[in-house]
């Protein structure tokens, strides 16, 4: 139970940081949110509560969906490359560490753009492919983190640390920025802001990382917003 509560707390904290970033840039009235790759639906519940609006979560695996959801939260089994929603339907499209698992991620981005309102906002986070160490803040045991990093380095050593080869690689900041610019009108890198809020008591460290460019290899994940 304690482990469960800790995992829920981690999910809540990460999602609330995303909410704070979105709130700082959102320009439209928020009525509906879409969560792409919603997992069990925890993020959908938090986002709905934070923005006081209806949220829809989609995921290929519906087995772990939370039962007895709040009235304004709807979870659906659906594919990110073929979203079952009409055009310009959502004020926010939120996707946290999902894009790297989608083979045709460009099609998924196109679908996110299609269902996003003209003045809507997307929020996308993925693992940083240039990271030295990953999974630091993941909802997993220390042993799992060691094993996952070991797997990462096996792919790196053979030169196949890419999503297409089965690695949990993610994207570099430049790679993701380039892909997002192909689809969306405006694209802003908010990785620094994310880690500022994650480590609010250690901002001096974040400043040092930014000034020395060490952030490119030490940030385990990257985050972008735009429309």
Q: Quick check: 1 pLDDT over 60?
A: no
Closest CA to 60 of 24, 19, 25, 101: 101
Please report how the helices 191-198 and 2-25 are oriented relative to each other, as an axis angle in degrees rounded to 10. 130
Let me know: does 75 contact 62? Beta carbons within 8 Å.
Answer: yes
For the chain, domains (ranges, CATH) are 2-226 (3.40.50.150)
2 to 5, 16, 135, 190, 203: CA distances (angstroms) = 5, 21, 20, 32, 29
Comparison of pLDDT for 95 and 205, the residue scoring more: 95
For tokens 């439209």, name the residue. Answer: 28
Q: pTM for this one?
A: 0.93
Q: Per-residue confidence at 5, pLDDT binned at 50, 70, 90? A: low
pLDDT in tens, 105-155: 999 999 999 999 999 999 999 999 999 999 987 777 889 999 999 999 999
Query: Which tokens in the block code for residue 143?
Result: 């042993």
């Amino acid at each position: 139970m304690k482990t469960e509560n800790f995992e829920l707390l981690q999910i809540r904290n990460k999602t609330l940081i995303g909410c704070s970033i979105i709130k700082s840039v959102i320009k439209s009235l928020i009525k509906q949110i879409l969560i792409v790759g919603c997992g069990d639906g925890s993020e959908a519940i938090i986002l709905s509560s934070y923005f006081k609006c209806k949220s829809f979560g989609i995921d290929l695996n519906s087995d772990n969906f939370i039962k007895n959801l709040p009235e304004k939260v709807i979870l659906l089994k659906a594919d990110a490359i073929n979203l079952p929603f009409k055009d310009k339907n959502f004020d926010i499209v939120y996707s946290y560490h999902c894009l790297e698992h989608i083979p045709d991620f460009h099609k998924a981005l196109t679908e996110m753009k299609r269902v996003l309102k003209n003045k809507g906002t997307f929020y996308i986070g993925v693992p940083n492919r240039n990271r030295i160490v990953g999974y630091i803040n993941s909802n997993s045991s220390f042993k799992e983190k060691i094993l996952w990093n070991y797997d990462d380095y096996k792919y790196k050593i053979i030169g196949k640390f890419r999503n297409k080869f089965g690695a949990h690689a993610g994207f570099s900041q430049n790679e993701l920025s380039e892909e997002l610019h192909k689809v969306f009108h405006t694209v802003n890198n908010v990785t620094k802001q994310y880690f500022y809020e994650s480590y609010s008591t250690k901002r001096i460290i974040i400043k040092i990382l930014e000034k020395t460019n060490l952030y490119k290899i030490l940030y385990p994940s990257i985050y972008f917003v735009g429309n």
